[in-house]
Amino acid sequence: MKFENMRVVVTGASRYFGRAIAIGFAHLGAEVFVSARTVEAAERTRTEVMGEARNRIHAFGCDLSKPAEIRGFARQVGERTDRVDLLVNNGARWLDDMDLEVTSDDSIVETIESTAGGTVLMVKHFLPLLRVSQRPDIINMVAVCQPGGAGDFPAHEAFHAAKGAQAGFAEILGRRLRPSGVRVFSLYPPDYSTSDPRSVEWQGTGRNAQYRDEKLTTQALFECIVYAVEQPRDCFIRSFHFEPR
């Protein structure tokens, strides 16, 4: 229960890394507020958690491409808690179609709005709750914008554009919030395993030995976040960059 009384907000928490973060922090004792594009999707994450940790997860619907829903999400969280200690910007719209010329304009705009614009608006509307925390941190799951690594990541050009904007925002945000004590971290992993832990599988005690020879796992990424937020408040870790295996 090392994070008992900690308040965590996670976007894009219906699957993969977002769900792993929510489950991990709930099992470590934190109160976790998760969002997905629909409340039903977010609720599935909550119901997959076993034991008392399930009662520490609260599910919300929030389409990150819609400003009104982001404002509503922040308002609802503010009605349940007087602060947020950690905001994890993980949500992003993925495009399965890899052909720029045939992808619809609406899909391209929605990808950029939800990933880049959604991150900016999440920070804007949750900053009041972060500022009253004694340990405010913001984590951005940027992933694909490592210099020189874009060509190896199989993502749509619009997704890369959105992640580039997100990375630029995180960089300037970290500098401007640092004097106020709000820390901003960004994760830049290569392609990683999405076999996230669920319920009883998650113990938070380190990676399973069976993954030693496989690519980076969600649990390893989660442990990096735990490491960062546990550091003394005068320690500002700007980013984590990972080498591909």
> 69 is in which domain, residue-wise?
7-241
Average pLDDT, the chain: 85
Which position has the higher pLDDT, 109 or 8? 8
Q: What per-residue string of b and e applies to 34-55 under the rule 16 or more CB within 10 Å gives b?
A: bbbbeeebbbbbbeebeeebee
Residue with tokens 């925002």: 169
Phi, psi at 162, each rounded to 5°:
-65, -40
- As a whole-number percent, the residues of the chain with pLDDT over 70 amount to 83
In a domain, 2, yes or no: no
In a domain, 35, yes or no: yes
In a domain, 186, yes or no: yes
In a domain, 45, yes or no: yes
User: pTM of this prediction?
Assistant: 0.88
In a domain, 1, yes or no: no
Angle (CA) 129 134 139, round 5°? 65
Split into its structural domains, the chain has a count of 1
In a domain, 199, yes or no: yes
Taking only the tens place, the pLDDT of each residue in 26-51 is: 999 999 999 999 999 999 988 888 78
Rounded to an integer, the average pLDDT of 194-214 is 49
CATH number at residue 235: 3.40.50.720
In a domain, 115, yes or no: yes
In a domain, 61, yes or no: yes
User: Distance of CA 142 to CAs 64, 72, 100, 208, 240, Å?
Assistant: 15, 24, 21, 25, 10
> Which residues lie below 8 Å from residue 25, measured CB to CB, with a gap of 6+?
3, 6, 8, 10, 32, 86
List helix spans (H) across the chain.
16-27, 39-47, 67-80, 105-112, 118-131, 157-177, 218-230
Taking only the tens place, the pLDDT of each residue in 164-187 is: 999 999 999 999 999 999 999 999
* Eight-state DSSP code of residue 31: E
Identify whether the C-beta of residue 97 lies closer than 8 Å to the C-beta of residue 120: no
